[in-house]
């Protein structure tokens, strides 16, 4: 049985009440609507397609790498589930939030690749919203649970980049 499943009954993870990926999806869909409702952005060139694809792939690679470490340590990436141990390897050596960073990169790259700069611009809105609905509660939870070891990690590794 995985570590995540063997925690005391009733133990809960961070006080996150809304799935963060849905914020990114919602802002992407809003970008699509805005593109057709009000598009002050000029069409982008082929350079934007290739840069967008590269950014999107970097975001996808970041998420896959982070997810791999969750699987290796028997944990769930769902923020409201308990965290049995800190992950300090893989992308977590460079950013404390590789999945949210990856989703931001995917949304930014997608907007560039599709020539819809609304989607790219709204990626920063997505990250700000996720910061408050997920990152702040997750950090509070991890500080309570892991104390000095998490605070030391926060001193060494940036929140996003």
Are residues 120 and 107 in contact, defined by beta-carbon separation less than 8 angstroms? yes
What is the SS3 string spanning 49-111? HHHHHHHHHHHHHHHHHHHHHHHHCCCCCCCCCCCCCCCCCHHHHCCCCHHHHHHHHHHHHHH
pLDDT at residue 46 in the model:
82
In the numeric block, which tokens belong to residue 49? 């397609």
Query: 99-147: per-residue pLDDT in tens?
Result: 999 999 999 999 999 999 999 999 999 999 999 999 999 999 999 999 9
Distances (CA, A) of 18 to 82, 105, 117, 132, 158: 16, 20, 26, 11, 24
Q: What domains are defined for the chain? A: 47-161 (1.20.120.1630)
How many of the other CB atoms lie within 10 Å of CB of 12?
Answer: 10
Q: How confident is the model at residue 9 (pLDDT cuts 50, 70, 90)?
A: low
- The Cα–Cα gap between 23 and 145 comes to 26
pLDDT at residue 45 in the model:
75
* Averaged confidence pLDDT in the chain: 91
Residue environment code for 128-156, b if the CB has 16+ CB neighbours within 10 A, otherwise e: ebbbebbbebbbebbeebeeeebeebeee
pLDDT at residue 83 in the model:
94
pLDDT at residue 58 in the model:
98
In the numeric block, which tokens belong to residue 12? 């809960």
Residue 140 belongs to what H/E stretch? helix 136-146
pLDDT at residue 1 in the model:
36
Q: Is the pLDDT assigned to residue 76 strictly greater than 50?
A: yes
């Amino acid at each position: 049985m995985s570590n995540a499943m063997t925690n005391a009954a009733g133990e809960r993870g961070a006080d996150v009440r809304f799935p963060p990926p849905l914020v990114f999806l919602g802002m992407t869909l809003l970008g699509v609507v805005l593109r057709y409702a009000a598009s002050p952005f000029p069409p982008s060139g082929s350079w934007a397609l290739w840069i967008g694809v590269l950014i999107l792939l970097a975001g996808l690679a970041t998420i896959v790498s982070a997810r791999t470490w969750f699987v290796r340590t028997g944990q769930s990436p769902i923020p409201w589930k308990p965290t049995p141990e800190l992950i300090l390897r893989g992308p977590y050596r460079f950013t404390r939030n590789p999945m949210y960073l990856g989703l931001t990169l995917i949304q930014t790259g997608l907007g560039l690749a599709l020539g819809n700069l609304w989607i790219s611009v709204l990626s920063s809105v997505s990250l700000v919203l996720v910061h408050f609905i997920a990152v702040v509660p997750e950090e509070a939870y991890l500080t309570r649970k892991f104390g000095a070891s998490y605070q030391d990690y926060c001193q060494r590794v940036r929140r996003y980049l």
